[in-house]
A and B are shown apart, each in its own frame.
Chain A
Amino acid sequence: MKKTFLLLCVLCLGALISEAKGQTATFKALFLYNFTKNIDWPASANGSELVITILGDDDITAELQKIAKVKKAGNKSIKIVSAKSVKDVGDSHIVFLGSAKSSLMSTLSHAQASNPVLLVADKKGLCSQGAGISFLTVGGKLRYEICSEQIESHNLKVTQKIISLGIAVQ
């Protein structure tokens, strides 16, 4: 018994060598930026800035802020807002719901029902709860599910490209 435990401890030490760092937050932020190039907001949504509100993901907020510093969406500058609750989400073009807050998708969708906004979830299968786009991992690759019906119900138009590169879901 003792020997087995010792052996296990030794193996554990051997295991704690390498750790790979994740780039997922960077990629999701890049996706979100790229979505702005592939979606048309109605005239009523046009302000001087393109607002992306993040609810519950500090890593993605940080990555988006890096992008917002150096890039514009068309000729509009990008404003990144971090919200603490569904109630706090103000007028936005895109709202990103962090994965830990996925259970709030229904509530968020209900609150934003009449607004011209793209709701992005960080968990698969949330289209049925109102998400327009949901990130997911398929076979080790980062992908997104896209639900045109949901997006169009917010008066947004999507390019064919963004639909074809994603996983179309109803």
Chain B
Amino acid sequence: MFRIKYITILLFSLILSSSILAQEEGKTSLSKEKILSMSTEELSALSLEDLMAAIDIVGVSSLEELYELLLNKDVTSASKSEESLFDSPLSTTVLSHDQILASGATSIEEALRLVPGLIVREKTNGNFDVHIRGNDNLPAKNMTLYSENMNTLVMINGRPVFNYSHGGTLWETLPVGFEDIDRIEVVRGPASALYGPNALSGVINIITQTITDDSPIVSGNMQAGSLNTYVGDVAFRKKVSDKFSVGLTGNFEARDREREEILVYDRGGSEYILDGKNVDPGYFTIDEVNRMYNGEHRLWPPYDVKGQTYDIYRSFPDPDKSKERMGVNAYVDFMPNEHTTINVMAGHQNSQALTSSMGDVPTPYTTKEAATSYVDLRANYKGFNLQANYNGGTIDYMMGNEGFELDNEQYNIQAEYDLKLGKVGIRPGVSYQSMSYDDTEYIAEVGNGYLNERQTIDIFAGSVRLDYRPTDKLRLVAALRAEKYNYPDDIYASWQLVSSYKINDKNLIRAVYSRANQSSFLVNTYSNYTWNVVNMDYPRIMQFDGNEEHDLKIMDMYELGFRSRPSKSLLVDIEAFYTVSKDFGALMPASSALAVFNPLDVAMVGADADVNGIVNILYQNMDLVAKQKGITASVDWVISEKLVANGNFTYQQTKLDNYSPLNRNEVVGYQAGILQADPDLVAKIGQSIMDYVGGVQGGTINPEEQPYALVSLTESIPDVEKDNYEHKSTPSYYGGFSLTYRPCKKLEIFPQAYFYGEQSFENQYATEKIDGKFLLNAKVSYKANSNLTFFVNGRNILNMKEREFAFMDEIPGMVLGGLSFKF
């Protein structure tokens, strides 16, 4: 029975494709045949105009076009100048605009699943975690903040889109949509030498389209489907004159989550009570969380900030919505003469995303809200390049939590000069970056935020890149960058040393040794946050302090690469890499103290002493070293005019030295244990009260500023570090494959798979095991005419719902339908 079904389909597709093929050939076969039958002599006798006309009639075979499009791409981000991807000295992938649309990806983050070496996990509908190669969730056993990818620099045309307050990328704040994009270039491995800090595992450079005479006046895409998901973008482009082009684009996304409830997790010793009954940690509605207690304390107590109530309803204004964003962008390209180009891009975005939290709250979920604008200027004059941009606005990293809403201003300016001297190219450059964040407008009083004022990080850097071809086959690249920060007051060097050897036109081997560093982030440097804890038993006060003189994390990489193009239709790329990351840092317990919080009451009224803890959390460097070995292989195969196959696979293993198996809370608990085990504790309590009263009476202690009496202090940290610990947050294997099948010119079928192995996520509260997952997507497009394409898009069509990111939503299958247009 099955066989008949499949044979019928096969016969049907054979007949369909051959009849359509005959149709297509029929139209032009006469003149084309004539030309193809002309002799060499006859063809050589044609004038230039006639030759070109004849060539146009025959046309470039679509197979050759496919080879060019898919296997002969150009890339700019690896060497900061255009070169064939095959020759790129670094591990590089280019995703074209058409590939992104063909894949049916509903967002830029999702499209990155097509790139070898990328780990992309969906947290809630449309919100993704994107990592290059791994090093996920380090240091572990701490706040979910450290699961954010702080190792990758995302850029739009070289303009960094990075969150310097906590580190990481807020993908929902990217102002661009699909129609803005010409291609996405991903370079894997440390690239700080070329692009500045935070490019440790690589860079993702989104390059926008150039406006030419061939650009459609208006183009766009729209799709809608499951979970009320709406995604759309539109672009208007016009080359007004030889010197002048303008463009205007807009994009939006709106999506629902698959549930409305949020998770309340076990924060160690929690006793949750809802409506008088004990409940286990789990998913609850916002109303239920509002009524919940943890022991005696209200779980989400409301408080007032500048006349506004900060409660759970402010934290989760739309618990059923996962993502809502819109962006607009304007482009002006100006070419005053042949040697000069000036590009100006400006825009604005608004977004709200319900995704994983960066802080310390009873739920791993948070709502982030952002409204930012930017301006980017790029100018080229002969070999001289200048880029200057501004990005600023307001971002609330955890709505409804005082201290997490900040105004930010980022300025970047860089100048580079391309000097070509025959076999050597030299590119010196200077850059200046300034990032300022300010929370003062959004806190009730100084001390309630973690910055409590406007703070700035400045980076001044100089760089040089040498590209030397001593022979036709050998290429040596050396890039060096030196950065000077205001805080930490230090100079950081990053580099790239590459040698590539082109054995012949079809095979290239390369070796890379590079280093990159993280920048300082405002939280790490300037934190000054006093958390008066009201929803847990212990401690009473948690003081978070930044560290102005910490070391910045660095990553060294050793990589061997091999590229082969054994035939015109096949491209193979293999990368073997070994990375060592150190100088990790995190907000970690530095000391714990016990204090009497009602000393005057005890002394004067004989009340029971209210003894509780004050924990000082300081941004500190750790001895942790992460060593990762891995190998990525990818294959691109143009099987025929109608069928293209792509596949990639990565295997990696990460081991940690000086790994501490205790989570942040356990260290706090350890310190509390030491303090409470003190045999002299009772005496010290009494003494502290007496000293306090004495101090108040003597005028040396102001009870307004210091309402507690310090009893004892410890800085002891348990000595439990382990070596060679296998890091399980990164799956040991991940990859994907896809087919592009065009049975006829109007129809395109794109099945695509993305998979990863199991992982274990450790934060300060719990460890969660995430099963491996196999996602199958398929997009079927029908090109009605040259202006309009309709499609049906299935995401996760096998409906493998398991959550992809610890403590986040399940991700069910989705179906969407839509269209793409261009006029």
Using known A-B contacts A30-B43, A56-B505, A165-B48, determine if residue A10 contacts B9 with beta carbons closer than 8 Å.
yes
Using known A-B contacts A11-B13, A85-B471, determine if residue A106 contacts B641 with beta carbons closer than 8 Å.
no
- A76 CB-CB contact with B under 8 Å: no
- B798 CB-CB contact with A under 8 Å: yes
User: In the complex, are the beta carbons of A30 and B17 less than 8 A apart?
Assistant: no
Q: Which residues of A8-52 are within 8 A (CB) of B?
A: 8, 10-24, 26-27, 30-31, 33-34, 37-38
User: In the complex, are the beta carbons of B13 and A101 less than 8 A apart?
Assistant: no
Instruction: Give the contacting residue for A103; candidates B21, B87, B421, B741; CB below 8 A.
Output: B87
User: In the complex, are the beta carbons of A107 and B743 less than 8 A apart?
Assistant: no
User: In the complex, are the beta carbons of A30 and B51 less than 8 A apart?
Assistant: yes
User: In the complex, are the beta carbons of A123 and B84 less than 8 A apart?
Assistant: yes
Residue of A nearest to B10 (CB): A10
User: In the complex, are the beta carbons of A141 and B59 less than 8 A apart?
Assistant: yes
Cα-based distance from A153 to B81 in the complex (angstroms): 24
User: In the complex, are the beta carbons of B743 and A137 less than 8 A apart?
Assistant: no
Instruction: Give the contacting residue for B640; candidates A6, A19, A30, A123; CB below 8 A.
Output: A19
- A110 CB-CB contact with B under 8 Å: yes
User: In the complex, are the beta carbons of A13 and B40 less than 8 A apart?
Assistant: no
- A155 CB-CB contact with B under 8 Å: no
In the complex, what residues of B have CB within 8 A of residue A27's CB? 51, 55, 58
Residue of B nearest to A71 (CB): B44
- B537 CB-CB contact with A under 8 Å: no
Contact with A along B167-194 (1 / 0, CB 8 A): 0000000000000000000000000000
Using known A-B contacts A56-B505, A71-B44, determine if residue A85 contacts B798 with beta carbons closer than 8 Å.
no
User: In the complex, are the beta carbons of A33 and B36 less than 8 A apart?
Assistant: no
- A140 CB-CB contact with B under 8 Å: yes
User: In the complex, are the beta carbons of B338 and A22 less than 8 A apart?
Assistant: no
In the complex, what residues of B have CB within 8 A of residue A56's CB? 505
Residue of A nearest to B14 (CB): A14
In the complex, what residues of A have CB within 8 A of residue B62's CB? 20, 140
Using known A-B contacts A15-B643, A24-B61, A30-B44, determine if residue A125 contacts B82 with beta carbons closer than 8 Å.
yes
Cα-based distance from A22 to B43 in the complex (angstroms): 16
| Interface 9-residue window, one of B64-72, B111-119, B272-280, B301-309 | B64-72
In the complex, what residues of A have CB within 8 A of residue B64's CB? 22, 24
Q: Which residues of B663-686 are within 8 A (CB) of A?
A: none
- A115 CB-CB contact with B under 8 Å: no
- B639 CB-CB contact with A under 8 Å: yes
User: In the complex, are the beta carbons of A10 and B338 less than 8 A apart?
Assistant: no
Q: Which residues of A121-168 are within 8 A (CB) of B?
A: 123, 125, 129, 137-142, 161-162, 165
User: In the complex, are the beta carbons of A17 and B18 less than 8 A apart?
Assistant: yes
In the complex, what residues of B have CB within 8 A of residue A111's CB? 422
Residue of A nearest to B423 (CB): A107
In the complex, what residues of B have CB within 8 A of residue A102's CB? 83-84, 87
**Minimum Cβ distance to chain A for residue B625 (Å):** 37
User: In the complex, are the beta carbons of B60 and A140 less than 8 A apart?
Assistant: yes
- B425 CB-CB contact with A under 8 Å: yes
- A4 CB-CB contact with B under 8 Å: yes
**Minimum Cβ distance to chain B for residue A75 (Å):** 15
Cα-based distance from A7 to B86 in the complex (angstroms): 34
Classify chain B's interface size: 35 or more
Using known A-B contacts A1-B798, A19-B641, A170-B339, determine if residue A11 contacts B84 with beta carbons closer than 8 Å.
no
- B291 CB-CB contact with A under 8 Å: no
Residue of B nearest to A139 (CB): B214
- A116 CB-CB contact with B under 8 Å: no
User: In the complex, are the beta carbons of A34 and B642 less than 8 A apart?
Assistant: no
In the complex, what residues of B have CB within 8 A of residue A4's CB? 751, 776
Cα-based distance from A145 to B72 in the complex (angstroms): 19
User: In the complex, are the beta carbons of B40 and A141 less than 8 A apart?
Assistant: no
Residue of B nearest to A87 (CB): B472
Cα-based distance from A104 to B68 in the complex (angstroms): 19
**Minimum Cβ distance to chain A for residue B687 (Å):** 71
Instruction: Give the contacting residue for B505; candidates A31, A33, A70, A101; CB below 8 A.
Output: A101
Using known A-B contacts A24-B61, A30-B51, A161-B48, determine if residue A15 contacts B9 with beta carbons closer than 8 Å.
no
Q: Which residues of B41-97 are within 8 A (CB) of A?
A: 41, 43-44, 46-49, 51-52, 55-56, 58-65, 68, 72, 82-84, 86-87
Instruction: Give the contacting residue for A110; candidates B17, B59, B423; CB below 8 A.
Output: B423
User: In the complex, are the beta carbons of B52 and A165 less than 8 A apart?
Assistant: yes
Q: Which residues of B187-241 are within 8 A (CB) of A?
A: 214
In the complex, what residues of B have CB within 8 A of residue A21's CB? 61
- B297 CB-CB contact with A under 8 Å: no
**Minimum Cβ distance to chain A for residue B696 (Å):** 74
With most chain A CB atoms within 10 A of its CB, the pick from B17, B48, B58, B565 is B48
In the complex, what residues of A have CB within 8 A of residue B58's CB? 23, 27
In the complex, what residues of A have CB within 8 A of residue B641's CB? 18-20
User: In the complex, are the beta carbons of A107 and B469 less than 8 A apart?
Assistant: yes
User: In the complex, are the beta carbons of A137 and B41 less than 8 A apart?
Assistant: no
Cα-based distance from A21 to B60 in the complex (angstroms): 9
Q: Which residues of B11-45 are within 8 A (CB) of A?
A: 13-14, 17-18, 21, 36, 40-41, 43-44
User: In the complex, are the beta carbons of A106 and B63 less than 8 A apart?
Assistant: no
Instruction: Give the contacting residue for B422; candidates A16, A100, A110; CB below 8 A.
Output: A110
User: In the complex, are the beta carbons of B48 and A100 less than 8 A apart?
Assistant: no
Could you list some 10 contacts between A and B, CB below 8 A? A15-B743, A16-B640, A19-B641, A26-B43, A71-B41, A71-B44, A100-B506, A102-B83, A137-B65, A165-B52
The 9 closest A-B pairs by CB, nearest first: A110-B422, A170-B338, A14-B13, A100-B505, A15-B643, A15-B642, A22-B64, A22-B61, A85-B472
List 4 additional A-B contacts (Cβ < 8 Å) besides A4-B776, A18-B17, A107-B469.
A18-B642, A71-B41, A71-B44, A100-B86
Residues on A close to B: CB < 8 A? 1, 4, 6-8, 10-24, 26-27, 30-31, 33-34, 37-38, 56, 66-67, 69-71, 85-87, 98-104, 106-107, 110-111, 123, 125, 129, 137-142, 161-162, 165, 170
